[in-house]
Amino acid sequence: MSGGMTLKIRSIKAVPLFGESPKGGWSAEIKPEDSIHALVAVQTDGGVTGFGSVFTDARLVQAGLKVLEPLFLGENALEPSRVSEKLHQNTFWMGRGGTLTHTISGIDIALWDILGKVTNMSVGRLLGGRHRERVQPYCSLLMEEPKKMFDVIAEYRAKGFTAFKIGWGPFGRAMDAKLDAAIVRAAREAAGPSSKLFVDAGASDAHWPHGLKWALRTAEMLKDHDVGWFEEALRPDAIDDFCELRRQSPVPIAGGEVLTRRQAFLPWLMRGALDIVQPDVTKVGGITEQRRIAWLADEFGVKYIGHGWNTALGVAADLQLATAMPLCDLVEFIGGSPYVDGITVEPFKLDAEGWLTIPDAPGLGVGIDREKLRRYTDDADALFG
């Protein structure tokens, strides 16, 4: 490949995933027919297509693409960082962090996929090299009443998972501290003493009812069950309380999934609000932005573990970032989502120890199966046109 090679973007398409959207634990619960994820395809004049994913309603992504189209048409698809920053820089006045940032996330992931396919290198190698060949996934599950919580964790433990995160559901929302403790206790009993267990309060839900004192009391309870981190324990704008919670909590404090772009993360890192930072590659600005945030966090001694309540393409991007970052030892993996398990040519498979091999094939290292995809969208062909 010559140094001046250009592969021009001729179109970008987005399609919704719907029909089997898993519950999210939100107060206004997701219905199966709701679109909360969109798949994005960047198509080039050389016939190479890259794929990305966005964690938002596809109607917003499609509208975002119309706004961004004059900026990306004809651009060089082999320059993901430059093209993505061009899109950010020329649209910040429309509102940084919302629909356009989310849409750029999917575009950026797809551009890295293209660059990898053209150079015959995995994204992790393009990002600077592979620190690991496999990584431990934590099975991300919704909170349930204690008996059902035990059964759900036991089911996924039997499938080979050795790390679990439970979140949302009745935890905190039922206003019953004894119930909260019983749910976590049931999860720990089902997971066993050697498995990792994390807890996500989901305080970015609508009208979260608790504050700092609840979070402090809850953190003490979580310590008793050997919980590895306490995620989204406070409303997402309560940075002062997060700083105090991190200072007093006996368990590590995690968060950041609702923040987008590196600028939003700076005060959280500078003020020491988090032990673990969790940007979402399908919302934050894509692989380019996620990598910058992860390295920025590293400079502050804050651990990076991506938020990944998304699709198989989101998991694929997280896996490539996990190998590219020296201290990232976990990836989020939704338990039982057909948009993770049911749209790729080769589904993700756990090894004998419950870990995932990080693909080293060109680009993201996964292939989308057009026929499988037809089950979850009315316009699968648009991604391959």
Q: Which residue's entry shows tokens 């590659």?
A: 281
For residue 90, the domain's CATH number is: 3.30.390.10
Whether residue 73 is found in the same domain as residue 183:
no
Shared domain for 115 and 213, answered yes or no, is no
Same domain, 129 and 117: no
Which of these, 89, 88, 2, 17, lies nearest to 53 by C-alpha position?
A: 17
**114, 134: one domain:** no
pTM of the model: 0.97
Same domain, 91 and 156: no
Percentage of residues in the chain with pLDDT exceeding 70? 99
Dihedral sign for Cα atoms in the order 335, 337, 338, 341: negative
What DSSP string runs through 175-243? Answer: --HHHHHHHHHHHHHHH-TTSEEEEE--TTSTT----HHHHHHHHHHHHHTT-S-EES-S-TT-HHHHH
Site of tokens 């997701």: 30
Query: Across the strands, what pairs with 167?
Result: 142, 200
- Is residue 40 assigned to a domain? yes
Task: Give residues with Cβ within 8 angstroms of 251, minimum separation 6.
Answer: 219, 222, 223, 227, 228, 229, 230
Q: Are residue 212 and residue 245 in the same domain, yes or no?
A: yes
pLDDT > 50? residue 304:
yes
Cβ contact 277:302 at 8 Å:
yes
Q: Is residue 368 domain-resident?
A: no
pLDDT digits (tens, 9 = 90+) for 313-349: 999 999 999 999 999 999 999 999 999 999 999 999 9
One domain, residues 180 and 303: yes
Spatial separation of the C-alpha atoms in residues 67 and 88, rounded to whole Å: 12
State how beta strands 276-277 and 253-255 pair. Answer: parallel
- Say if 206 falls within a structural domain: yes
Nearest C-alpha neighbor of 181 from the set 172, 190, 193: 172
- Is the four-CA dihedral 263, 265, 268, 272 of positive or negative sign? negative
Same-domain status, 168 and 239: yes
pLDDT digits (tens, 9 = 90+) for 84-141: 999 999 999 998 889 999 999 999 999 999 999 999 999 999 999 999 999 999 999 9
Same domain for 310 and 256: yes
Distance CA 306, CA 325 (A): 11
Residues 85 and 146 in one domain: no
* First and final C-alpha spacing in the chain: 25
Least confident of 1-5, 13-17, 93-97: 1-5
As given in the structure block, the two tokens for residue 254 are 């995690």
66 and 206 in a single domain? The answer is no
* Secondary structure (3-state) at 50: strand
Answer whether residue 193 is part of any domain: yes
Q: Is 96 or 204 the better-scoring residue by pLDDT?
A: 204
pLDDT at 2 over 60: no
Question: Same domain for 316 and 232?
Answer: yes
Each residue's pLDDT tens digit, 355-366: 999 999 999 999
Considering the domain boundaries, does residue 365 fall inside one? no
**How many domains, in total, are found in the chain?**
2
Residue 71 belongs to some domain of the structure: yes
User: For residue 180, what is the enclosing H or E element?
Assistant: helix 177-191
Domain that holds residue 74: 9-121+373-384
